[in-house]
């Protein structure tokens, strides 16, 4: 059932705590999508978003141990260290406990170790992470970032997620883009998807994940089935939370074979 939020008193942080907090661990993906299936408009996510969506976006961050993002998206969106205001800090302490880090770490996935300087800001007390391959030259990022080498020539996403969990990151929030989300899904690693459906048409030529599909990298024999946990409407946006039936739960099917990100294309 769609539950409308009052236009004059919609609290995205309260919504996050009431509807998204039952997340003990795993990979949660968060994205916004237009009515015609685009994840960006003219290369940017912001035109699809809203003030409420942005507030929910930051609330979901507050409940995460680490934010996982493709380096291509990190460059386009100028990612930097995650910053929480007082309300979000209080939410984080309530959900993760007083010993939690002040904010989630940032982990960028890249085959080339080319990451934005904004994400390697030395003034942050939380060192970012760079997930790359064994053969990549990581010397340019080791001063300000910790490196997880996962896979030889191509990124092994199961190994990458295992590396994050080995460092104590139990709640992994994937913020995309579509290439990264497709690879994690094909590897059987996405346990839930938080999707904002934006009330806009973009006329973008490629929908979500279309690039990966066009290059024949989709190794899923059938689409992954998900169950709707809730839907909330506000200001013509629809906030959806889906959980997958086959990942990380009793009686699950065997996850599909991992889909590596190949070629010179950067992870987004």
Q: Which residue has the tokens 């961050």?
A: 61
Give the pLDDT score at 216: 53
pLDDT in tens, the chain (268 residues): 334 444 445 899 999 999 999 998 999 999 999 999 999 898 888 999 999 999 999 999 999 999 999 998 998 888 999 999 999 999 999 999 999 999 999 999 999 988 888 888 766 688 999 999 999 999 989 888 999 999 999 999 999 999 999 999 999 999 988 889 999 999 999 999 999 999 999 998 755 444 444 455 567 888 899 999 999 999 999 999 999 964 444 334 444 443 343 333 455 5
Q: What is the separation, in whole angstroms, between the first and last Cα of the chain? A: 33
pTM of the model: 0.85
Q: CA-to-CA distance for 142 and 149, rounded, in angstroms?
A: 12
Supply the DSSP string of 215-227, one letter for each residue. Answer: TT----SSPPPEE
Q: CA-to-CA distance for 267 and 192, rounded, in angstroms?
A: 20
Nearest Cα to 225, choosing from 207, 197, 245?
245
Q: CA-to-CA distance for 235 and 198, rounded, in angstroms?
A: 10
In eight-state DSSP terms, residue 54 is H
Q: CA-to-CA distance for 19 and 243, rounded, in angstroms?
A: 13
Nearest Cα to 234, choosing from 60, 82, 87, 55?
55
Q: Is the dihedral of CA 141, 143, 144, 147 positive or negative?
A: positive
What are the tokens at 76? 């386009």
């Amino acid at each position: 059932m769609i539950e409308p939020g009052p236009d004059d008193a919609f609290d995205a942080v309260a919504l996050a705590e009431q509807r998204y907090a039952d997340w003990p661990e795993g990979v949660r993906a968060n994205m916004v999508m237009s009515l015609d299936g685009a994840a960006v408009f003219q290369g940017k996510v912001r035109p699809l978003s809203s003030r409420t969506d942005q507030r929910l976006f930051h609330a979901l961050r507050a409940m995460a141990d680490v934010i996982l993002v493709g380096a291509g998206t990190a460059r386009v969106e100028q990612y930097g260290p995650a910053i929480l205001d007082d309300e979000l800090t209080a939410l984080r302490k309530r959900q993760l406990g007083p010993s939690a880090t002040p904010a989630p770490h940032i982990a960028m996935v890249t085959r080339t170790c080319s990451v934005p300087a904004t994400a390697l800001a030395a003034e942050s007390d939380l060192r970012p992470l760079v997930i790359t391959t064994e053969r990549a030259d990581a010397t340019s990022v080791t001063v300000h970032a910790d490196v997880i080498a996962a896979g030889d020539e191509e990124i092994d996403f199961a190994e990458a997620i295992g590396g994050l969990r080995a460092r104590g990151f139990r709640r992994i929030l994937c913020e995309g883009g579509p290439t990264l989300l497709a690879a994690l899904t094909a590897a059987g690693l996405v346990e839930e998807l938080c999707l904002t459906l934006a009330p806009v048409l973009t006329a973008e030529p490629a929908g979500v994940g279309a690039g990966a599909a066009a290059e024949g990298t989709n190794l899923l024999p059938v689409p992954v089935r998900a169950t709707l946990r809730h839907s909330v409407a506000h200001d013509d946006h629809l906030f959806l939370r889906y959980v997958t039936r086959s990942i990380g739960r009793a009686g699950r099917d065997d996850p599909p074979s991992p889909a590596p990100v190949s070629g010179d294309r950067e992870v987004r």
